[in-house]
Amino acid sequence: MWTVTGLAAQETIQLEFDISFDNILEAKDYTIQFDALVDTLVNLDDGDHLDFDTENNADSWSISVDATPDYKIFLDSDKNSIYTGDVVNFSIKCENSQVIPLQNPRCRIYIDDSVPGSNLYSLDFGTGTANIQQNFIEWELPLLEPNQSETINLTLTFDQVDMMNNYNISLIATIDSVENNASLFSDNESRKQIYLDGTPNLEIKLNETENRHETFPDSTLYFTVSCENKSSPMIDDAKVFLWINENNTIYSILPGSLTISATNDSIFWNLSALGKDESSSENFQLLFNGINTHNDYNLALTAETDFPNQSDDDSTDNRSSYQVSVDATPELTIEIEEQNDKYMVEPNDILKFNLVCQNTSFSTYNSLQVQAAISGDKIYKIVSATGNIVQGEEDQISWTIPPLLMNETATVPFDLIFDNIPDVRDYTVIITGLISLPDYDFDWAQDSKQKTITTNVNVDVSIGNITCNPASPSLNTMLDYSIPVYNNGNYPARNAVLTIERPEYTDLNYYILNGSKYVFSDSSSSTGQIDLGDLEPNYDNTIQVGLRVHSFKELPSHVHNHFRLDFLSTISFEGGDDVSRSLVRDVYFDPAVADLFLDKNIVEPGELPLVVTFKSSDFGDLDIKVYNLAGEFIKTIHSGSVEKGDTYLFDWYGDNKQNMPVSSGVYFIHAYTKFYQGIKKVIVVR
C-alpha cells in the first residue's frame, strides 16, 4: 500500500514493484491475480475522515506460472530395418530444458506388448532395471540441472527368432520424476519403430557365364546359380527350384556336379547348409540339341529358393531370372562379285559374275536355292551358267547348291555377253542375287548390283566436199548439188536425216534429182529433210539434190548485180552429234534500174488526181502506198505484179482508205519491189 499526497488535478503518478517466484515447491502450474484499488481520505476538523471508495477506482491483473517440468527425450537407433540375428543399438538422450533442476529423473523404455520380448531378442540395458512382465526397462538418472542432459544406451540382439515371420517392433522412451506420476509427463516421450524381416533372406543369383542372352541351335550355354545367406544364423533345409518356360524338347540339361530331381514343370536340388553371410554356387548347362525347325525361341529361366516351413508365396523375394533367345532362323548372306569390273563394253564383250553365298548361322543347310535375276536393258545374253535359265522380261538363273556348313562359303559363277547393243547410248543392267530354302516361300538374303553400261562403239559420220553445177548460177538456173555422206565408224548411225536449210533472202524450190518428190512442201518452208535410213559401217554415198533460185524475197541495200547464198546441209542420227557442212555460191541477176515519178509536187484545189509513174526493172510484185508526215498509213494506190521493162501510171485522188478527202499537208508516196525502194513527197492544198 502506498499513500500519495498532494496529487494535483490532471496529474498522474506511477508506482512500481517486483515479485520473485523463488519459493515454488510443487511441480504444477499456478495462476496469480493482482488487484489494485485507489480511494480518497478526507480529514475532518474533528479528527475524523471520510473514505470515498468506488468500483471505478479498482483494476485487476493475473499471471500464469508454469512450474511443471519441461524435459525432452530423444530415442534413436543405428538401424531401421533388420534381419534375424542382427544387433540394434539404441541411444536415449534425456535433457532438462526447464529453468529449475529435475530431482530424481527417471527414464523408461517400453517395448511393444504385442511381441513377447523373450521370443525375439536378448537385452543389454546396462544399469537399468527390466520389468519383463510390464515389458519396459527403467533407469534412474542423477540430478539434471537446467539445460543438462544424460545419455544411456540399450542393445537388442535378435537372436531368439524362431518363426519365419516379419515384425514391426515399437519402442517408446519417456522421462519423468520418481516423485511424480508418470502420466503428468506424457508429452515428454520419443518413439522408434524397427522392422524385423524374420523370413530367411537367401539371396539367389542366376547368371549365364558369358552373359550372351542369345544363342543358336546345337550350342551350349553355361549357367551358375549362387546363393548367399543374408539373414538367418543357419539355413540348412532350403531347396533351389529352376523353371524354364519353353518345351524341354529343344534342349538338354547337363547338371554338372548337381544331383537334380525333376517334376512336371521344374527341376530342383537341395541346398547345402549355409551360415549367415555364407554362400554356395552350383553350375549347369543347357544344350540346344533338339531344334529342328526354323523358328526363334525365347526362354525365361527362373531360379528360386524354397523352405519346408514356408509357403511358396513367402519366398518370392528369393528369386532370380534370366532371358535367353534362341535364334534358329537361318543366317545366310549373298554377295554379287564382278570379276572383271568393266563398265565400258564393246559389242560381244563378256562380263563375269559370281554369287558368293555364306552360311553365318550355327546350323548346316542341306538344300539351298540360289537365284540371279537380271533386269533392265536387254542388251545381253546369259552364257556359261550351270544353273537353270529362264528367260523373259526378267531373266533368271537358279541353282541348287550342296550342303552349306556353318561359316562355309559357296561361289556360283555366270557370264553375260553383250551381243545385242542396238544404239550408241548408256544402258542399265540390274543384277539381283537371292538365296532361299525350299520349304519357305521368301528369300533369306539378297544383294543387288546395278551397272551402267557405256557402249564403246564408234559412229563416225561426216559430210564430204559439196559440189554444185554450174559453179556460178544466175536466177532461175537449175543447180545440181552433190553431197557426199560417209560413216567411217564400226557401228550404224540409226535413222539418219539430211536437212538442207535455205538462205535467208530466197524463195527456193528443191527437188530430189531423178525423182518427183520435193524436199520442201512449198516455197515458204525454211528447211527440207531427206530420210537416209541407217548408215551402216563403211557407208559411202553421194546424195544428189536439185534446186533452183527463182526469185528474192527482199533485196539487201548493198546488192548490185549478184547475191552470195550459203546453203547449209546437216546430218543428224540417234545417239550422236549432228554433222553440218555448207556451200557458198554467188547468184547473179540483171542490174536494171527502176524509177518513180510524180506529175506534180504541189496539188492545188481542182488539180486532182495526182499521177504516179513507175518504171519496172524486173518482173515481180509492186506496192505503192501513201503516208502522212507523222508516218501514218493513208491509202494503198497499187498492189500487184508488174513485168520487166514496163512503165505503169497510177492515179491518187487525194483521199484516204475510206475514200474521204485528206486534209492539207505533206504526204509521201512509197514504192516497193524486191529490187527497188522509192519515196516521193507531195503537198496537198485545200
pLDDT by residue (tens digit) across 596-623?
889 899 999 888 899 999 888 777 788 9
For 23-33, b/e burial (b = at least 16 CB within 10 A) is eeeebeeeeee
pLDDT of residue 547 exceeding 60, the answer is yes
pLDDT by residue (tens digit) across 376-394?
888 888 887 888 888 877 8
Largest Cα span, the chain: 186
Q: Which residue has the cell 499537208?
A: 665
Roughly how many angstroms between the first and final C-alpha of the chain, as a whole number?
152
pLDDT of residue 676 exceeding 90, the answer is no
- Per the CB < 8 A criterion, the answer to whether 32 and 62 are in contact is yes
Instruction: Let me know if residue 12 belongs to a domain.
Output: no
Residues 212 and 139 in one domain: no
CA-wise closest residue to 85 among 192, 229, 280, 271: 229
pLDDT of residue 354 exceeding 80, the answer is yes
Domain CATH code at residue 610: 2.60.40.2550
The rounded distance, in Å, linking the Cα atoms of 153 and 76 is 10
Lowest-pLDDT range, 254-263, 304-313, 535-544?
Answer: 304-313
pLDDT by residue (tens digit) across 123-151?
888 888 877 667 788 888 888 888 889 99
CA atoms within 13 A on the CB side of 52: 6
What pTM, to 2 d.p., does this model score? Answer: 0.42
Name the 3-class secondary structure at 529: strand
The rounded distance, in Å, linking the Cα atoms of 2 and 669 is 151
- pLDDT recorded at residue 3: 76
Instruction: Let me know if residue 45 belongs to a domain.
Output: no
Residue 525, phi-psi category: left (phi > 0), alpha (psi -120 to 50), beta (remainder): beta
Name the domain boundary from 566, 588, 610: 588
Total residue count of the chain as it appears in this document = 686
Name the domain boundary from 436, 453, 470: 453
The rounded distance, in Å, linking the Cα atoms of 670 and 676 is 11
Residues 130 and 228 in one domain: no
- Per the CB < 8 A criterion, the answer to whether 153 and 89 are in contact is yes
What domain range includes position 376? 332-453
Instruction: Let me know if residue 225 belongs to a domain.
Output: yes
Residue 375, phi-psi category: left (phi > 0), alpha (psi -120 to 50), beta (remainder): beta
The rounded distance, in Å, linking the Cα atoms of 189 and 173 is 5
Name the domain boundary from 170, 197, 224: 197
pLDDT by residue (tens digit) across 256-274?
777 777 665 578 888 888 8
Give the three cell numbers for residue 670.
512509197
Lowest-pLDDT range, 162-166, 370-374, 410-414, 587-591?
Answer: 587-591
The rounded distance, in Å, linking the Cα atoms of 261 and 280 is 19
DSSP 546-581: EEEEEEESS--TT-SSEEEEEEEEEEE-TTS--EEE
CA-wise closest residue to 562 among 582, 587, 594, 537: 587
Residues 183 and 256 in one domain: no
Instruction: Let me know if residue 144 belongs to a domain.
Output: yes
Name the 3-class secondary structure at 527: strand
Residues 78 and 183 in one domain: yes
- Per the CB < 8 A criterion, the answer to whether 332 and 445 are in contact is yes
Cα–chain-centroid distance for residue 629? 76
Residues 477 and 556 in one domain: yes
* Overall domain count for the chain: 5
Residues 584 and 467 in one domain: yes
CA-wise closest residue to 68 among 169, 167, 188: 188
Residues 86 and 184 in one domain: yes
Instruction: Report whether the peptide linkage leading into residue 591 is cis, meaning its omega lies within 30 degrees of zero.
Output: no
Instruction: Let me know if residue 26 belongs to a domain.
Output: no
The rounded distance, in Å, linking the Cα atoms of 174 and 190 is 7
Q: Mean pLDDT for the chain?
A: 78
Instruction: Let me know if residue 59 belongs to a domain.
Output: no
Band (310; pLDDT cuts 50, 70, 90): low
pLDDT of residue 174 exceeding 80, the answer is yes
pLDDT by residue (tens digit) across 406-429?
788 989 898 988 888 776 677 788
Residues 84 and 193 in one domain: yes
- Per the CB < 8 A criterion, the answer to whether 131 and 139 are in contact is no
Within 10 A of 604 (CB to CB), how many other CB atoms are there? 11
Residues 384 and 311 in one domain: no
- pLDDT recorded at residue 183: 43
CB neighbour class for 563 (10 Å; exposed up to 12, middle 13-18, buried from 19): buried
Instruction: Let me know if residue 25 belongs to a domain.
Output: no
Give me the mean pLDDT over the 92-118 stretch: 75
Residues 212 and 316 in one domain: yes
Give the three cell numbers for residue 327.
535364334
Domain CATH code at residue 111: 2.60.40.1530
Instruction: Let me know if residue 435 belongs to a domain.
Output: yes
Residues 214 and 188 in one domain: no
Lowest-pLDDT range, 9-18, 72-81, 665-674?
Answer: 9-18
Lowest-pLDDT range, 75-89, 283-297, 493-507?
Answer: 493-507
Residues 263 and 382 in one domain: no
- pLDDT recorded at residue 38: 74
- Per the CB < 8 A criterion, the answer to whether 666 and 629 are in contact is yes
CB neighbour class for 370 (10 Å; exposed up to 12, middle 13-18, buried from 19): buried
